Amino acid sequence: MKNKLSAALMAATVLVLTMLQPSSPASASTVAPQDPSAFSNRVATFNVCNPCRYQLSGGPPGRHLSLIEQQIVTYRPQVIALQEICVNEARIVRGDLEQLYGLHYNAIYLATTNTIGRCLPYGVGYGIALFSAAPLTNQIKHRYAVGGSEPRGYIAADTTVAGRQVRVFATHLAQGGQADARRSEIQELFPVATSYDQAIVLGDFNSEPTAAEQRPMWTWFRDADPACGPTRNLPPCKPTADASGHRKKFDYVFLLRSGSFTASNNGVHANYSDHDLVHADLHTG
């Protein structure tokens, strides 16, 4: 009888201790979708809001990473560009997507700067990332000669979208009133991106469609949102970011005008970040 009582007390103690354990970001995540595969024709861009990691610090450790993962799991893009993310954060997100949800991505990371303040406790490399469900080949990582108040850059690779080989670029341009820096950055990006027969440019340009520094992009590219353009920046062109004064269109899915992609089902999705996740479903003729 004594042995049975001791065993029962031990089992109860283990149960209580288990219940008192803090939830990990993984256990707080939602159940994986029944079909975890990516939509083969969907591309997206998402500025994950590095300051938001501090605003969310009241939650469990890594809560902001769980929220990034939930956005990707919800929309399951074939390709997604991420801005304001630390390299090790992106690695963790990629690993969680595979281990928790069965959603496999290949990835490229670019640390445009090393900073403890933005990345603690996830190392020091801070910048951008590009995820693709298909292999990423012929990879390039480039830091702009002029980055404005902080270094910026782009990454590029060949991959597959909607069954077609395409060169995909992910970038993040200078913020705020730094139009001259953005103009210089676009002058570095534009001639490289236009040297390919099929190209998609994803990113946070930190400027509205009518901004003068964006004119070279509009010469050869169009936004997946047909309502947005160099002379169109009012509704129904959808704003994508919370910016001073009013919400603004900062985030783009640029498609080469001479390319074979057409876009439908464009989405601008509000979330915890100060930028919406922007996606487009692409088709070929």
For 220, the token pair is: 């050869």
- Between the alpha carbon of residue 170 and those of residues 11, 15, 35, 148, 167, the distances in Å are 53, 48, 27, 18, 10
The domain that holds 244 is classified in CATH as: 3.60.10.10
- The reply to whether omega before 121 is within 30° of 0 (cis) is yes
- Pairing label, strands 39-47, 277-284: antiparallel
Residue 2 lies inside a defined structural domain of this protein: no
Q: In tens digits, what is the pLDDT along the chain, a chain of 285 residues? A: 444 444 443 444 333 333 333 333 333 334 444 567 999 999 999 999 998 888 876 666 688 999 999 999 999 999 999 999 999 999 999 999 999 999 999 999 999 999 988 998 999 999 999 999 999 999 999 999 998 899 999 999 999 999 999 999 999 999 989 999 999 999 999 999 999 999 999 999 999 999 999 999 999 999 999 999 998 777 899 999 998 878 999 999 999 999 999 998 899 999 999 999 999 999 997
By the 10 Å C-beta count (0-12 exposed, 13-18 middle, 19+ buried), 238 is classed as middle
> What's the pLDDT score for residue 17?
33
For 191, the token pair is: 């001639």
For 187, the token pair is: 């002058």
pTM to 2 decimal places: 0.87
Residues 218 and 230 sit within 8 Å (Cβ to Cβ): yes
Distance, in Å, from the CA atom of 160 to the CA atom of 163, rounded to the nearest integer, reads 6
Could you tell me which residues come within 8 angstroms of residue 10 by beta carbon, excluding any fewer than 6 positions away? none
Residue 51 lies inside a defined structural domain of this protein: yes
Could you tell me which residues come within 8 angstroms of residue 103 by beta carbon, excluding any fewer than 6 positions away? 32, 36, 37, 38, 72, 73, 76, 97, 133
Distance, in Å, from the CA atom of 151 to the CA atom of 141, rounded to the nearest integer, reads 13
pLDDT tens digits along 256-281 = 999 999 998 899 999 999 999 999 99
Partners of 280 in the β-ladder: 43
How much is the CA Rg of the chain, to the nearest whole Å? 21
Residue 10 lies inside a defined structural domain of this protein: no
> What's the pLDDT score for residue 59?
67
Domain count, the chain: 1
Residue 56 lies inside a defined structural domain of this protein: yes
Element (H, E) at 201: strand 199-204
Which residues span the domain enclosing 217? Answer: 25-284
Residue 148 lies inside a defined structural domain of this protein: yes
> What's the pLDDT score for residue 21?
33
Backbone angles phi, psi at 102, to 5 degrees: 70, 20
> What's the pLDDT score for residue 57?
64
Residue 11 lies inside a defined structural domain of this protein: no
pLDDT tens digits along 79-104 = 999 999 999 999 999 999 999 999 99
> What's the pLDDT score for residue 267?
93
- Between the alpha carbon of residue 12 and those of residues 2, 5, 23, 197, the distances in Å are 15, 11, 20, 66
* Residue with tokens 């692409």, as numbered in its chain: 282
